[in-house]
Structure 1
């Protein structure tokens, strides 16, 4: 079962644009446990993770409502939508010049992207990710498994595997991958339909 899960995570891999910050670390023993690392992360990550926690709790409450409580349910749905909009606004307000969207190849098992720094194989890293457009903050410890000059001639392309990642965060990445993949497939299908219409 574990092998099938790992294979599924590796198979469902997509290219996408996300916000990513990274820094090298000496060892896993020298950094906080993965479940506590968010406390030492950037203010934006801490904010997003707390908002995600609240949203998950709200979803659980909504699931327990009966049909007779539909009005209350609709009210809570509106509040949840408001929370999502406030989250997006907060993320944009906390934007810094150092942060920008980066094209990555990402899955539940790791990611590949191009950066200015050159890192050696086996270098351990702390990774902060903001999934777009969901505005979900993810923190992980990862290890460099591939490092080479970028094909564009600018920067270095590195591949990382997650060595410490909260399962809730891994699930968020997998959900993100499926959503982006579904959107890309819909766009391909729509573009194909438009091409067929133009041909006729």
Structure 2
């Protein structure tokens, strides 16, 4: 079994259900998918803003790790500044017409995503997907292909897609999100079991 196959299986194994913001657009031809260098040129304002803020935060973290102890005051300042940017990011997300109705329950991994849609899509339909990971407020753009779409209830359909083009940094962000949610769910499960045993 090749290293690539093992990596793909790892990405598919680690998946989680969670609520996040998601938008999709149909793509007619594979030629309409841009090159990696152009992936951020045609995004929504919300995604563009979040990606710029994430880039700044990553750069700030790199600067912080290079500071010496003598520069601790500067480090503390940058930490506070980074926290301020993080708080502003959450405020911006909440102010961009985001409410509970904007959140969609998804089943996501580093290899693909499954969620409810209002339409039934044909297998192999190409789509552009914009995702906002919650609560991290990380904006991700992926190009995906429908592998399954079926009617369920109340005019809703369950649609599964695999990512056909996704930046590795965005894939890593999804995998970190999955691990974070899984860890939180595991802690909650252990806590509930502990409470039940005490009762």
- TM-score bracket relative to the smaller structure: over 0.9
> Residues of 2 paired with 1:7 and 1:66: CA distance?
41
Identify the residue that residue 177 of structure 1 maps to in structure 2: 178
> Residues of 1 paired with 2:108 and 2:83: CA distance?
27
TM normalised by structure 1 equals 0.94
TM normalised by structure 2 equals 0.94
Structure 1 residue corresponding to 2:57, chosen from 55, 58, 75: 55
Give the paired residue count: 197
Identify the residue that residue 39 of structure 1 maps to in structure 2: 41
Superposed displacement of residue 153, structure 1: 4.1
> Residues of 2 paired with 1:36 and 1:101: CA distance?
27
CA contact (8 A) 2:33 2:143 kept: no
After the TM superposition, which residues 36-185 of structure 1 pair with which residues of structure 2 at under 5 Å, given as runs? Answer: 36-95=38-97, 100-150=102-152, 152-185=153-186
CA contact (8 A) 2:14 2:178 kept: yes
> Residues of 1 paired with 2:156 and 2:31: CA distance?
30
> Residues of 2 paired with 1:46 and 1:66: CA distance?
33
Structure 1 residue corresponding to 2:30, chosen from 15, 28, 31: 28
Cα-Cα RMSD? 1.5
Gaps of 5+ in 1: none
Structure 2 SS opposite 1:40: coil
CA contact (8 A) 1:16 1:103 kept: yes
Superposed displacement of residue 185, structure 1: 0.3
Q: Which runs of 4+ in 1 moved over 4 A?
A: none
> Residues of 1 paired with 2:112 and 2:132: CA distance?
14
Superposed displacement of residue 32, structure 1: 2.4
Superposed displacement of residue 34, structure 1: 3.7
> Residues of 2 paired with 1:74 and 1:145: CA distance?
48
Gaps of 5+ in 2: none
